Chains A and B, each alone.
Chain A
Amino acid sequence: QKEVEQNSGPLSVPEGAIASLNCTYSDRVSQSFFWYRQYSGKSPELIMSIYSNGDKEDGRFTAQLNKASQYVSLLIRDSQPSDSATYLCAWTWAGNNRKLIWGLGTSLAVNP
């Protein structure tokens, strides 16, 4: 069974701090990893995708992938109250119509 484990939180950080979100996944053949942000009542929006080991930075967001340890993380620097949302990690692999395997989501609250 291909799965993703994600701490549901809630994670609370003060404004300006670094928020760290983590996921572990079950299968070494997984290929593509995604972080989505979802505001209440809205559909998910892509924050970051990562495919290779190491770090990938985009503005205040950094995704980190470690395939040997089977984890992927998302760092949010200089957290803002507008970052308060649920963050979902997901992964997929070649085959099975590339269905996304979703984590349960981590609720992040950034306190002013």
Chain B
Amino acid sequence: GAVVSQHPSWVICKSGTSVKIECRSLDFQATTMFWYRQFPKQSLMLMATSNEGSKATYEQGVEKDKFLINHASLTLSTLTVTSAHPEDSSFYICSARLTGRVDGYTFGSGTRLTVV
């Protein structure tokens, strides 16, 4: 149980276009979703925390107008990379916090974004 389905698993887009990444909780309600970015051979970098029904909280240095996060329901959170550039190429991972469970984080399978 506690599965987060993340799509797409990989995407290639042209510079200047926007890309939407979806994370759906399949068998639980995801009150809080964390969005990470990971560059090769580096650790996970938290971009933002979203809570259902409220605005996302962005980490310092992350442009909220570039990385749009929507968490309109308890089962769906989306990250849209707007006007993507090659430097946005990275591995994006969502993670849901499982309330009431001490082991409480489950991860999506990740999205490999390549901007050409």
Q: A residues bordering B, Cβ < 8 Å?
A: 32, 34, 41-46, 49, 51, 88, 97-100, 102-105
Contacts and interface: CB of A to CB of B under 8 A. Distances in A.
Given A32-B102, A46-B103, A51-B102, A97 B57 contact: yes
Contacts of B34: 99-100
Given A49-B103, A99-B49, A105-B43, A43 B110 contact: yes
A88 B109 contact: no
B93 interface: yes
Contacts, number: 47
Interface residues of B, number: 23
23 contacts: A32-B102, A34-B105, A41-B110, A41-B112, A42-B110, A43-B6, A43-B107, A43-B110, A44-B93, A46-B103, A49-B102, A51-B102, A97-B32, A97-B51, A98-B97, A98-B104, A99-B46, A99-B49, A100-B34, A100-B95, A100-B105, A102-B44, A104-B42
